[in-house]
Structure 1
Amino acid sequence: ETLAEKDAETFTKIWDAFGPVLKEGIYEDFERREKLLALSRFTTTSGEKRTLKQYVADLKPNQTEIYYLAGDSLERLKSNPKLEAAKSRGIEVLLLSDAVDAFWTSAPLEFEGKPLKSLSQGEVDLDLVPLVEDDNKDEPKPEAADEASTIAVIKEALGERVSDVKASTRLTTSASCLVAGGRGPDRELEKMLAMQNRGSVTKPILEINLRHPLVAKIAGADTAAGGEASDISLLLLEQAQILDGELPEDPAAFATRLNRLVLRGL
């Protein structure tokens, strides 16, 4: 801690070399966890080499948690739709792309009384945090699709591919995203354990943005098996998989379905 305060440049070099090793200690060393968290440096939506002390100092009004998003690519994380609601409120998010990040974040963690919360797991409610001033605030918002009927159609089309379909509080501009349930591991940890044959991947929850035109289109679409509503529902799942760095279950069927929807719109 003294080195970090007195010689930031030298500490940064040490962090760049041994950061992942120090982060392993967060998971393994309960007694020194708070100190290791204080020493850690993070890439966030606000900048590089950020500390949790800096993060907490910049908390937004009514913000009670430290938010993070884990993945295998920093560039993919920066464009992940699960950041949208946080961005619209100016909330800083830790972007965690080291392989070890999926493990240490699985422990119950807090810093200066603020729990760490994944944006890709469980419920996320940011409604109490004020929105950032929007230059387009006077523009009318698209009307939301009917929640119950839209979700029922999507569930019917997707069947056992997902564990549930919910209206999203994370999304503002994107149509859909995939998240893990509130219990069990985060999606990134699940994927890593499955790759190492140390666990299986559970079915994700599909969250949909009821104000997105693609979701709203389901209301007037043909709901017969293989019809337009089914195509849109599957596309919502598949594009969410792609945005998370995954391949659709059947890439050929995805391409055929996408072409069919494009041709219908011509």
Structure 2
Amino acid sequence: MQSTSHRFYWLNFGIPLACAAVVFLMFDMTSIDIAFSNLFFDPITQTFPIDQVHFFEKLTHKWARIIPNWTAEIALIGAILSFVWPLVTPQKHPRLGNFLERTKAAPVLRFARDHRRDFLFVVFAFAICTGVIHFLKSHTSVYCPIETTLYGGKIAHIEWYQNFQLFREAGDGRCWPGGHASGGFTMLALYFVARRYRWRFSKAVMYGSLLLGFVYGTTRVLQGWHYMSHTFWAGIFVWLACLLTALAFYGRVRLDQPVLQKHERRVAVAQAQAAS
């Protein structure tokens, strides 16, 4: 049992912390970020040409927000509805209960009640991830590449660790870590819900969420509004925030259970139905 817990913590904390060390040494301590962004900068016009494409901005920055925004809204609605069914059960209110059954609303309310913890977890995970990213942005005051003198702006380029302030805001810059990338990475909350239920496609949810975050972050790099390392840092912090929140809601043992294969899931569902 102890070796299992050690493995869980080494994997889920050790890998992101190792990634943090690599990102710090490879990007923050070198000029790789700047060299990569230079590929998309036009020194003649002093602009990032892709930043001038309005459709690209709408598609990758504004419309893309729909995915995490709708996910958070659905989770919030589900969390609210989860408290409704206990108040309107047929035992307490027969007429209202019968009406809800006829209108097919009762199954939705029962589902929300049964998954209250999951809906609340997603709501809290999204909120905590957003709070962590906003805290880091305001307490490092890093300006975006396009705002710095390197790319025609007025602010000097600095790294996040050169201006970090723990107990007060460091300035007006709000570019580190990547906020848009973090919006995609917050979908990792769904991975931990999938792990709770030992869903065999949980890793696909994880990889899909990571891919979404990297796509969100990379598009902003192409526009000059972030360095590539900002995306990596966003993914690291969001993972740790989601993981700690999941541990608080579900516990390590539940998250560390092996996934159920299709035939095992049928047996588990049958046993749960028999028990109820």
TM bin, normalised by shorter chain, reads under 0.3
The structure richer in strand per residue is 1
The structure richer in helix per residue is 2
Larger of the two Rg values belongs to structure: 2
More RCO (CA 8 Å, sep 6+):
2
